Amino acid sequence: MRASDADRERVAQVLHGALAEGRITMTELEERLTTVYAAKTHGELVPITADLPTTSTPSAALEPSTTRALGFPDTRIGGHPGSTVSVGIMSGAVRNGSWVLPAQHTSVAFWGGAEIDLRSARFAEKHMTITAVAIMGGIQITVPDDINVDVTGIGFMGGFVLDDKSSAPAAPATAPTVKVNGLAFWGGVVVVRKPRRPEHRQLED
């Protein structure tokens, strides 16, 4: 039987609980989580926790300060990477909703527009790069305020801007980090930092 996202999350929570109880190491957790989010069927999920009690305390039940102090990896990291490109040439391209941002994503807008929304996304790895190239076009990248973002793009007769619409403090070191680079030529690239949608916020926030 095919495994659902909810099935994979339940297994991930058992693993986080096992880490909190000292049953597995951080390295083992990361290795097993990689297997969890790559699993397609229930049969692939079963062996991952076969040596662990299913009554392990889920990490979500711990106090926020405890999860940060223990350095738990962000539960949004992992999964099968989505598309590596989004192109809008005299048209538009949109990447939003529930998807997995790959380690490297390239977005191009030429006489058109592109929109990338990461507020409901997962992240294939802890560190990712989005290369945005806007030529006589526009690209908007919306990032949640509970991840780290680094904007280093260049605007030439155009703009490459970070627009912070959130009052939230900097994200913890365990959160995913997205680096946005590229070029805006006679166009614009805007990176907007907004609060994550409530239903997708991390339980430890």
DSSP codes joined into one string, 58-123: PGGGS-HHHHHHTTPPPTTB-S----SEEEEESSEEEE-SS-EE-SEEEEEEESSEEEEE-TT-EE
- Could you give the CA distance from residue 58 to residue 62 in angstroms, rounded to a whole number? 7
Q: What are phi and psi of 151, to 5 degrees?
A: -105, 120
pLDDT for res 185? 95
Domain boundaries, the chain: 5-69, 85-197
Mean pLDDT of the region 1-5: 81
Please give the model's pTM, rounded to 2 decimal places: 0.64
Please determine, for residue 11, whether its predicted confidence score (pLDDT) is greater than 90: no
- Per residue in 16-46, pLDDT (tens digit) is 788 878 888 878 887 888 888 888 888 898 9
Are 88 and 114 in contact by the 8 Å Cβ rule? The answer is yes
pLDDT for res 56? 47
- Per residue in 145-194, pLDDT (tens digit) is 989 999 999 999 889 999 988 877 878 777 899 999 999 999 999 999 99
